[in-house]
A = this chain, B = another copy of it.
């Protein structure tokens, strides 16, 4: 059976992601946890984030610099993000038009098993 244990560390990771609404790297979350007194090993932070991402509980994307950044999103479904490249704050956006367009285009070119990435970066109102 799937023995999924609930450990203090995993809860600490989930919890801190929920308290902040920003995209941050594993290392940054690790640092935040340490500051908040809830120390968790770096390896465990990586493992937990990966597990949560695989489950679809949190979202991952790659920052323009190429690092993976993670965030707890409210919507469980497929969506994209409008991310402030200064402070990491993000808005979740849905793009039915874009979904339709990409899948139609891919099909027109004979591609199968299609996925896509779409992220919008900018400076949010507060950071302007």
Contact = CB atoms under 8 A, between A and B. Distances in A.
B117 A111 contact: no
A62 interface: yes
Interface string A48-67: 00000000000000100010
Contact of A62 (B66, B93, B106, B116): B66
A126 B102 CA distance: 20
* Number of copies of this chain that the complex holds: 2
Nearest to A98: B98
B123 A109 contact: no
A111 B84 contact: yes
A115 B110 contact: no
Given A62-B62, A98-B101, A106 B82 contact: yes
A77 B68 CA distance: 28
